[in-house]
Amino acid sequence: MLSTSHSRAYQDFITLLKKFRNIFTNHDLNINTFLVQKELRNLQEYFEQQIIPLDSEELDSAIASRWQSVQTEIKREFKLLTTDILFLNSARQPATRTRRLKSICDRTIKLINYCQIMLS
């Protein structure tokens, strides 16, 4: 079982990720990049302040190993998400922008799923 602080951090991160995902739900190719950057900064700030500092010291030894594996995947997917957003901003062709938008949505869903795994 996760500690209260761990559970709260993942629950709040899920909320922010869902808000972020909603920006991309209609796959509008003329997406507001200012809004995307603003929401990405909010996500990054929360991620750096609340998710990265979590450690396994407060956790039961039976779940610490699994927690570490999923936490590593969350960190990896988040880095890839930020890279995808950079590529979206530089994409000029509609097909490329569409692929980037899909990739961003997919990564956001993966991050939400990883956080839900942590909470289960």
Q: What is the pLDDT of residue 36?
A: 86
pLDDT tens, position by position, 67-97: 899 999 999 999 999 999 999 888 889 899 8
**Contact indicator for 17, 108 with CB cutoff of 8 Å:** yes
Q: Is the dihedral of CA 41, 17, 75, 3 positive or negative?
A: positive
Q: What is the pLDDT of residue 69?
A: 92
Confidence of residue 50 (pLDDT cuts 50, 70, 90): very high
How do the domains of the chain map onto residue ranges? 4-119
Confidence of residue 33 (pLDDT cuts 50, 70, 90): confident
Q: Is the domain 4-119 a CATH 3.40.50 member?
A: no
Q: d(Cα 4, Cα 18) in Å, to the nearest integer?
A: 21
**Contact indicator for 7, 119 with CB cutoff of 8 Å:** yes
Of the candidates 53, 42, 54, the one whose C-alpha atom is nearest the C-alpha of residue 15 is: 42
Q: d(Cα 26, Cα 29) in Å, to the nearest integer?
A: 9
Confidence of residue 27 (pLDDT cuts 50, 70, 90): low
Q: DSSP class of residue 51?
A: I
